[in-house]
């Protein structure tokens, strides 16, 4: 029986063709030299590089599993959690006991209020690595370990259209439509009139494409209702993150007064948070990010959503190839999972750490069929990149 002998962390900060989501609103480039900046009018910090935490779990039989935390800023923080709090609890354990090990990790800081945040991100990376390792030890893919895939191809929507003007966004949308794209999410939250002008310009350029809006938590309930009613008239695919992320009641009111599905989930880490929101009917499309929840908890979240007859569409942003593969595996294994996010900006960087690329296109992903996550990580390249980060 294999036993865990090492749990290693690799902090990466990689440069891509351009920063995630393109230039800042003032037209300036978000370069690595600028460090972390707030992308006004949004509130959150962003990096000019693609930052992440990779976790490597090794056994005494020479087998390795890989995991990743979604850590777009400060990946050293979840790395410290893995190194100082989690690793020692895993050494000597049977890596195929993934759920008991998840429970073990969860209990370590639960009573101290650390069931979410950086602690959860660190646990997510380790959990993904354990599922990958379990698959490699058994010869089964993660989707097979979860009970089997409902689909061998996961539909996708293009996310972002990171161009500075509506004219350029519309042209990019038309280009995607020619490639077979049928769904696009717009990165908005820049004011109701501005958002609707962008929506209408893109809709006119790509009339066969359904459009969703990510409002980046920017609006008050009144503003979100106004925007939501306008999106209802336009037949929008969904409205993501419209209000402040802790405003459950505001989202509940909004979801009950518009027909466009309210989508929420990237800020949540566990089934308890999702159960609260779902029980209060504050969302109609659940968006867990596997690199923040882990595979074990994401599957539990999917079951909570299924009990309320709600679809699950996994979130994905700047994660690299390991997080991407985990999201595809989970999306394939969830019955009601209509689509998964396609991030053109981060894709080339994500694929750069893999020996063989994932079959990823703007209209969907082919489910990797190899053992574990189904991808081969370039360990030597990661070691070199970690030294440079």
The CATH number of residue 259's host domain is 3.20.20.120
Mean pLDDT of 41-45: 92
Same domain, 113 and 163: no
Q: pLDDT-based confidence at 246, cuts 50/70/90? A: very high
Could you give the 3-state DSSP secondary structure of residue 357? Answer: coil
Which tokens in the block code for residue 371?
């053992």
Is 124 contained in some domain?
yes
Nearest to 129 by CA among 51, 52, 54, 50: 54
Radius of gyration of the chain (CA): 20
Q: Residue 58 and residue 8: Cα distance in Å, rounded? A: 8
CATH number at residue 123: 3.30.390.10
Q: How far apart are alpha carbons 278 and 330 in whole angstroms? A: 20
DSSP 267: T
Q: What is the pLDDT of residue 203?
A: 98
Domain identity same for 41 and 185: no
**Pairing of β 285-286 and β 45-47:** unpaired
What is the domain extent for residue 107?
Answer: 4-142+379-388
Residue 261 covered by a domain: yes
Q: Three-state DSSP class for 109?
A: helix
The pLDDT of residue 24 is above 90: no
In a domain, 137, yes or no: yes
The pLDDT value recorded for residue 11 is 98
For 233, residues 6+ apart whose C-beta sits below 8 A from its C-beta are none
pLDDT band for position 29 (cuts 50, 70, 90): confident
Q: How far apart are CA 119 and CA 108, in angstroms?
A: 10
Reply yes or no on whether the pLDDT at 1 is more than 90: no
DSSP 33: G
Q: What is the pTM of this model?
A: 0.97
Pinpoint the alpha helices (H) of the chain: 76-81, 87-90, 98-109, 117-138, 142-145, 166-178, 192-205, 221-234, 248-257, 271-279, 290-307, 321-333, 344-351, 379-388
**DSSP letter at 371?**
S
- Total number of domains in the chain: 2
Task: Tell me the pLDDT tens digit for each residue of 98-156.
Answer: 999 999 999 999 999 999 999 999 999 999 999 999 999 999 999 999 999 999 999 99
Residue 371 resides in a domain: no
- Residue 301 domain-assigned? yes
Same domain, 71 and 13: yes
Determine the Cα angle at 351 with ends 349 and 352, to 5°: 65
182 inside domain: yes
Asked whether residue 128 falls in the same domain as residue 179, the answer is no
Nearest to 382 by CA among 352, 357, 346, 337: 352
Distances (CA, A) of 284 to 99, 263, 270: 28, 6, 17
Would residue 373 count as lying in a domain? Answer: no
Q: What percent of the chain has pLDDT over 90?
A: 93
Q: With cut-offs at 50, 70 and 90, classify the pLDDT of residue 32.
A: confident
Q: Does residue 33 surpass a pLDDT of 90?
A: no
Read off the pLDDT band of 238 (50, 70, 90). very high
Could you tell me which of 272, 309, 287, 301 has the C-alpha nearest to residue 240?
287
User: Which tokens belong to 265?
Assistant: 């989930």
* Whether residue 21 has pLDDT greater than 90: no
């Amino acid at each position: 029986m294999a036993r865990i002998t090492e749990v290693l962390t690799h902090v990466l900060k990689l440069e891509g063709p351009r920063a995630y989501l393109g230039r800042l609103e003032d037209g300036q480039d978000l370069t690595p030299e600028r460090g972390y900046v707030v992308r006004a009018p949004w509130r959150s910090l962003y990096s000019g590089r693609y930052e992440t935490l990779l976790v490597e779990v090794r056994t005494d039989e020479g087998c390795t599993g890989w995991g990743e935390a979604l850590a777009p800023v400060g990946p050293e923080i979840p790395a410290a959690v893995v190194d100082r709090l989690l690793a020692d609890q895993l050494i000597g354990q049977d890596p195929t006991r993934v759920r008991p090990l998840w429970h073990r990790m969860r209990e370590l800081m639960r009573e101290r209020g650390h069931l979410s945040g950086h602690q959860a991100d660190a646990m997510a990376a380790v959990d993904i690595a354990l599922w990958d390792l379990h698959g490699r030890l058994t010869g089964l893919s993660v989707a097979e370990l979860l009970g089997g895939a409902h689909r061998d191809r996961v539909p996708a929507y293009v996310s972002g259209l990171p161009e500075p003007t509506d004219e350029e966004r519309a042209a990019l949308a038309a280009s995607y439509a020619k490639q077979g794209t049928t769904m696009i999410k717009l990165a908005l939250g820049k004011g109701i009139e501005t958002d609707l002008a962008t929506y209408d310009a893109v809709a006119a350029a790509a009339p066969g494409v359904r459009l969703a809006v990510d409002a980046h938590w920017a609006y008050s309930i009144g503003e979100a209702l106004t925007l939501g009613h306008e999106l209802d008239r336009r037949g929008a695919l969904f409205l993501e993150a419209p209000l402040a992320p802790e405003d459950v009641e505001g989202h509940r009111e909004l979801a009950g007064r518009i027909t466009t599905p309210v989508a929420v989930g990237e800020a949540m880490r566990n089934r308890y948070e999702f159960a609260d929101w779902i029980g209060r009917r504050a969302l109609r499309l659940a968006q867990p990010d596997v690199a923040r929840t882990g595979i074990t908890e994401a599957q539990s979240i999917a079951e909570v959503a299924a009990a309320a007859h709600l679809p699950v569409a996994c979130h994905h942003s700047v994660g690299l190839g390991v997080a991407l593969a985990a999201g595809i595996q989970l999306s394939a294994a969830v019955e009601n999972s209509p689509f998964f996010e396609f991030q053109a900006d981060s894709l080339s960087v994500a694929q750069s750490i893999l020996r063989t690329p994932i079959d990823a296109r703007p209209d969907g992903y082919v489910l990797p069929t190899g053992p574990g996550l189904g991808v081969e990580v370039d360990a030597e390249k990661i070691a070199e990149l970690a030294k440079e980060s």
